[in-house]
Amino acid sequence: MGRDGVGKDGAVPARQESAPISRRRLLGTAGAAGAAGAAGLIAGGAAGAGVAAAVDAEPTALATVGSAHIPFEGARQAGIVQPAQARGHLVAFDLVAGADRKAAAGLMRRWSDAVRTMTAADRPAAPAAYDDQVAYDAGPSSLTVTFGFGRSFFGRTGLGAALPEALAPLPDFPGDRLDAGRSNGDLWVQVGADDALVAFHALRVLQKVARDTASLRWQMSGFNRTPGATPHPMTGRNLMGQIDGTNNPKPADPDFERRIFVPAKGSPEWMAGGSYAVVRRIRMLLDDWDHLPVARQEKVIGRRKSDGAPLSGGTEFTPVDLGKVHADGSLAIAGDAHIRVAAAASNEGAAMLRRAFSYHDGIGADGTPDAGLLFVAWQADPLKGFVPVQRKLDGGDGLSRFLRHESSGLFAVPGGAGKGEYVGQRLLEG
Ligand code: HEM
């Protein structure tokens, strides 16, 4: 599901937008933060002479991956329309006993301030506030942090009247094998970055900042292909080997906004510009899958494995022709093919933006890989996105025989914070 390519499918090319930051420019900014910071930037803490030599040299661009910067502030939170980064952490917190609405507001303020600093374009110049130095020498590396509220948050903070209808619990799907301890939660945090240390550091800072107000409920870590690993930008592959993310709604689609984001005059008002995230840890039964010949695997999905082209013909981005039949009368895209069963056309227009991370947590107790997809689906209303599609997939999809949904969460992700604001302010102070 995660895309490591940009442009081709219309996704917002945030990572490529920002020009590389030269070390000279960083130094200029770092001057204000003190010489120690500057030295760390250039030579990992080298002494003064080393700094001078580096200053005299031609400016060297901080690598594109490190300098790419996605602003924290905006009408929408970052980490939804941008391509999924190479590293991701999905984390849920529960408020500690006695933490009320005021405490929750304080936490969202502290979290937002921390993320504002860590995602800043000149972040290496200002490490002092969060100075464990784990990410000291790196640029923002497309870091995004996205915050959401689970249904239980509203009861705990006395905000029941503000609970969105769309946060009704997801229905039970017969195929689910959910672990309650790794599902739901009061608060949800999605961290993504193209550098593993930057992603870890952000998560660590958020955990420290939460101390005394919220404690960790569950954490899942995932990955996607690293930008630059392929000769040209491409849609990413999942751990089954398929090109995944091709037929996602595109920001250029006329109905993209309406499908993915709550409108400005939507309900409840505090969710304007927000979206709902369905989060599922979906284990892939890889040993079973890998035994299938490639031609069978392709039939299960409805697309060619090598290049993602639909079995109805053409190349990766050729529109799927669900009506196409072969000369012998058989459907080009099988009746139970994943892309037929999941298609908007088969679900009264239901659509979602899939933005996932792969995960691999070693070998499970049964001796098979504990690996799969940290599936995150974004939509303006889960009842018009994930729910009808999953109802149909659960049982009717050829792929479901090779999957196991092991955890689940649904979170209301409010719009972004403006200058000086924190995420969720309209809910917590409304
Ligand atoms: C590990 C689990 C899953 C895997 C490996 C997987 C894989 C894929 C692949 C390879 C495609 C074709 C390329 C593309 O258009 O992205 C696809 C399409 C799609 N998938 Fe999944 N998928 C998974 C779970 C789900 C779930 C749980 C849902 C929703 C409930 C879903 C909804 C969709 C949709 C809507 C499409 C686009 C269909 C179209 O209109 O062409 N997928 N998936």
Q: What is the pLDDT of residues 37-54, one digit of tens each?
A: 232 222 233 333 333 444
The CB of 350 under 6 Å from ligand 1? The reply is: no
pLDDT number for residue 360:
98
Q: How far is the CA of 221 from the centre of ligand 1 (A)?
A: 20
The CB of 375 under 6 Å from ligand 1? The reply is: yes
pLDDT number for residue 20:
38
| CA–CA distance, 227 with 397 (Å, rounded to integer) | 32
DSSP 287-336: HHHHHS-HHHHHHHHTB-TTT--BTTSS-TTSPP-TT-B-TTS-BSS-TT
The CB of 297 under 6 Å from ligand 1? The reply is: no
Among the listed residues 9, 244, 381, 397, the single catalytic one is 244
Q: How far is the CA of 235 from the centre of ligand 1 (A)?
A: 13
The predicted model gives 231-235 an average pLDDT of: 93
The CB of 413 under 6 Å from ligand 1? The reply is: no
- Locus of tokens 């689609």: 253
pLDDT number for residue 41:
28
- The atom of ligand 1 lying closest to the CA of 393 is 30
pLDDT number for residue 13:
34
The predicted model gives 174-200 an average pLDDT of: 97
137 tagged catalytic: no
Q: How far is the CA of 342 from the centre of ligand 1 (A)?
A: 7
The CB of 247 under 6 Å from ligand 1? The reply is: yes
Q: How confident is the model at residue 29 (pLDDT cuts 50, 70, 90)?
A: very low
The CB of 54 under 6 Å from ligand 1? The reply is: no
Taking CA atoms only, the protein residue closest to ligand 1 atom 39 is: 343
pLDDT number for residue 124:
57
Tell me: pLDDT of 215 over 60. yes
- The atom of ligand 1 lying closest to the CA of 1 is 16
Taking CA atoms only, the protein residue closest to ligand 1 atom 42 is: 342
Q: What is the pTM of this model?
A: 0.88
What rounded mean pLDDT belongs to the chain? 87
**From the CB of residue 194, how many other CB atoms can be counted at a distance below 10 Å?**
27
The predicted model gives 186-199 an average pLDDT of: 97
For 215, which DSSP code?
Answer: E
Tell me: pLDDT of 35 over 50. no
Taking CA atoms only, the protein residue closest to ligand 1 atom 8 is: 244
User: Which parts of 244-293 fold into alpha helices (H)?
Assistant: 256-260, 286-291
pLDDT number for residue 275:
98
Residue among 354, 374, 376, 406 to mutate when testing ligand 1 (max atoms within 8 A of CB): 354
Distances (CA, A) of 317 to 165, 244, 378: 36, 12, 21
Phi first, then psi: give them for residue 142, nearest 5 degrees: 60, 25
pLDDT number for residue 429:
97
Taking CA atoms only, the protein residue closest to ligand 1 atom 43 is: 244
The b/e string for 264-287 (b: 16+ C-beta within 10 A; e otherwise) is: eebebebbbbbbbbbbbbbbbbbe
Give the least confident one: 5-14, 191-200, 253-262.
5-14
Tell me: pLDDT of 379 over 60. yes
Tell me: pLDDT of 324 over 90. yes
pLDDT number for residue 130:
63
How confident is the model over 53-65, as pLDDT tens digits? 444 455 556 678 9
Q: How confident is the model at residue 430 (pLDDT cuts 50, 70, 90)?
A: confident
The CB of 284 under 6 Å from ligand 1? The reply is: yes
Q: How far is the CA of 177 from the centre of ligand 1 (A)?
A: 19
Share of the chain above pLDDT 70, in %: 84
How confident is the model over 399-422, as pLDDT tens digits? 999 999 999 999 999 999 999 999
pLDDT number for residue 349:
95
**From the CB of residue 325, how many other CB atoms can be counted at a distance below 10 Å?**
12
- Locus of tokens 């649904």: 410
The CB of 244 under 6 Å from ligand 1? The reply is: yes
Q: How confident is the model at residue 21 (pLDDT cuts 50, 70, 90)?
A: very low
Tell me: pLDDT of 206 over 70. yes
pLDDT number for residue 144:
98
Distances (CA, A) of 122 to 26, 85, 185, 429: 7, 20, 33, 31
More confident residue, 172 or 19: 172
Residue among 279, 339, 360, 400 to mutate when testing ligand 1 (max atoms within 8 A of CB): 339
**From the CB of residue 364, how many other CB atoms can be counted at a distance below 10 Å?**
11
Q: What is the identity of the amino acid at 80? A: I
Share of the chain above pLDDT 90, in %: 79
* E strand or H helix at 61: none
